[in-house]
Amino acid sequence: MSADKPVRPLVVVLGPTAAGKTALSLDLAERFDGEIVGADSRQIYREMDIGTAKPTPVEQARVPHHLIDLVTPDTAYSAAEFQRDAYAVIDAIHRRGRVPFLVGGTLLYVRAVTEGLRMPAAPPDLALRAELEAVLTTQGREELFRRLQVLDSVTAAVIDANNPRRLLRALEIVLTTGRSKLELEGADPPPYTVLQIGVEWPRPVLYARIDRRVEEMVAAGLADETRRLLAAGYDPRLPSMTSLGYREMAAYLAGELTLEQATARIQIETHRFVRRQYTWFRRLRDVVWFNLEEAEAVDRIRQVVAEFLATGR
């Protein structure tokens, strides 16, 4: 055993939607005695399985999974709470002598863990929050994102623009304090030795994978899943219910779109989301990227992980 072997290793598997993170992380976790820690801001919700591409019960039975199915769709769950829970889970995995694999496409969640971002506090301003909520209702999250780009371009470059709660919070901070959310955050890096693996495909291939997956979701009952959520009383304006897939299916169920139109809209919006994901990911440092279209990519990833776990490099 090398004296340089990392005492507290953390392997991160990140990449855009539909890149194949789940299959790769299962392979790696089984091969290297690992457990999977989810880093997906939609898979935290219970009852939302198809639209979030959550690992199936069979996949979750293969390897222990954590930070999936945490809260109901009407429960707020902050990045600070995720950071706290992720640290607790990762530390427990280390105590068991196993390897934690942090897996997901939510950049804020990944950075909260790997960089130890400090989550800034801003004094509550109910009038401001009501004003921003009114903008969200009347003009949509796109207007919130546009305002954030003007007021705090640094935060706008890395935030999940599809998450209206995060947009509201970032605007609230900059309008209340006059300072950028990221500026206030700072970081306290955790005591982990981190390897970040990024997976990607050529863009046309990735779009085709997305389109196929959306069609599979619809065939698997995405509309029925959305109908059950609405019937359970979950407000269609909730952050969870306005995420990709569910808002389009809600429009279909309301008679505003045909099923074919809703399916096509999900595909188009997911393409747009992926373009934003790539912008965010490219700002990360120290990510080893692999093109999964290359025949030897998975073998090379296995080799990189094995060397990291043996030497910390």
For the question of whether the overall pTM of this predicted structure is more than 0.95, the answer is no
Q: What is the pLDDT of residues 85-129, one digit of tens each?
A: 999 999 999 999 999 999 998 998 999 999 998 876 666 677 888
> Can you name the CATH fold of 9-117+187-311?
Rossmann fold (3.40.50)
Q: What is the pLDDT of residues 166-209, one digit of tens each?
A: 899 899 889 988 888 877 877 888 999 999 999 999 999 999 99
Which listed CATH number (1.10.20.140, 3.90.1150.10, 1.10.10.60, 3.40.50.720) goes with 126-185? 1.10.20.140
Q: How far apart are CA 312 and CA 246, in angstroms?
A: 41
- For residue 117, what is the DSSP state? B
Residue with token string 């109908």? 227
Both tokens of residue 85?
């829970």
Q: How far apart are CA 49 and CA 59, in angstroms?
A: 13
Domain boundaries, the chain: 9-117+187-311, 126-185
**What does the pLDDT read at residue 166?**
85
Q: Which of 209, 213, 232 is nearest to 222 (CA)?
A: 213
Q: What is the pLDDT of residues 246-286, one digit of tens each?
A: 999 999 999 999 999 999 999 999 999 999 898 888 878 89
